[in-house]
Structure 1
Amino acid sequence: MNPPFPNLPPPGDLIVDEPFWQYQPLYVTSGGAAHLRIWATPASRKQLLAMVTELGLGPSITNSIEHIWRVLAGQHPESEIILLEHYLAAESLGEEHLDQVVVHQGTPDWRRIWPTSPINANAAAFNRWMTSFGPLAGIPAFQAKPSGGH
């Protein structure tokens, strides 16, 4: 069983912005590419907020998430990585979305951050978080929606 999801921290300073970050998952002959962004978090110097955006090049970020997690954790061994998986509408059957991922003992688990069903117990908190984070991260579908219309 995976540990509980960590709270979503507010993003601080953008410290990594790689529009064509390459990854090479284990057991796959070709690698993939994603847009990788990492923010420091104001609450903790030992916590980083990372978001990988699917580009549709090579193995998907979902199918490679354990490898992506392992690489980021290895590059930042002193930090807790809060990992977000972002799909643009063109890469996700028409609906842009953002999920939080945890990996424990090699097994990933996801929870939807946006869009979130109104019956989700965390919907209000996630929508408030997206009001601040969505525009900062440049999430196109979020930016196109009026404030409060999530």
Structure 2
Amino acid sequence: MILTETGIGVTITNAAEEITAKLSRHIPGNLVVLEHWRAGNGADHDRLAQVRAPNGRSARWRAIWPIPPANPRYEAHRDWMHAYGHTLLTARQNT
């Protein structure tokens, strides 16, 4: 599930625990929640972060894209973005 930060209402960052807890109750299985920020406000491109808040507890974020080339997982994240990420974000922006 990709949640896009729009700047309207409460931020995903501030509501991450509640959002992930509610989604986990209604969507069975392994749920992956990605927080998406659109390009702008000083950022040249869209950003994605994985949000984890087990059982509604404190949220933790892991950068998915972009990440620095020095990151040991850089190639895997880059390949995922090329294979899936850009398509998902394009579809997201068209809804």
TM-score relative to the length of structure 1? 0.54
CA-CA distance at 1:108 after TM superposition = 1.0
Which protein is bigger by CA-based radius of gyration? Answer: 1
**Structure 1 position 68 matched with structure 2 position 68:** no
Alignment equivalent of 1:136, drawn from 71, 76, 87: 87
SS at the partner of 2:53?
A: strand
Alignment equivalent of 1:94, drawn from 42, 60, 81: 42
Structure scoring higher RCO (CA < 8 A, sep ≥ 6) equals 2
**Structure 1 position 84 matched with structure 2 position 34:** yes
Report which of the two has the higher share of strand. Answer: 1
Summarize the alignment of residues 1-150 of structure 1 with structure 2, pairs less than 5 Å apart. 50-76=1-27, 78-90=28-40, 93-95=41-43, 96-105=46-55, 106-139=57-90
Q: Which amino acid aligns with 1:73?
A: S
Give the Cα separation in 2 of the matches to 1:62 and 1:132. 26
Could you tell me which runs of 5 or more consecutive residues in structure 2 were left unpaired when the two chains were aligned.
91-95
Could you tell me which runs of 5 or more consecutive residues in structure 1 were left unpaired when the two chains were aligned.
1-49, 140-150
Tell me which residue corresponds to 2:93.
none
Query: Does the 8 Å contact 2:21/2:54 carry over to 1?
Result: no
Root-mean-square deviation over aligned CA pairs: 1.4
% identical aligned pairs: 33
SS at the partner of 1:107?
A: coil
Give the Cα separation in 2 of the matches to 1:73 and 1:101. 12
Q: Which amino acid aligns with 2:52?
A: V
Report which of the two has the higher share of helix. Answer: 2
Runs of 4+ in 1 over 4 A off after TM superposition: none
Instruction: Name the count of aligned residue pairs.
Output: 87
TM-score relative to the length of structure 2? 0.82
CA-CA distance at 1:115 after TM superposition = 0.7
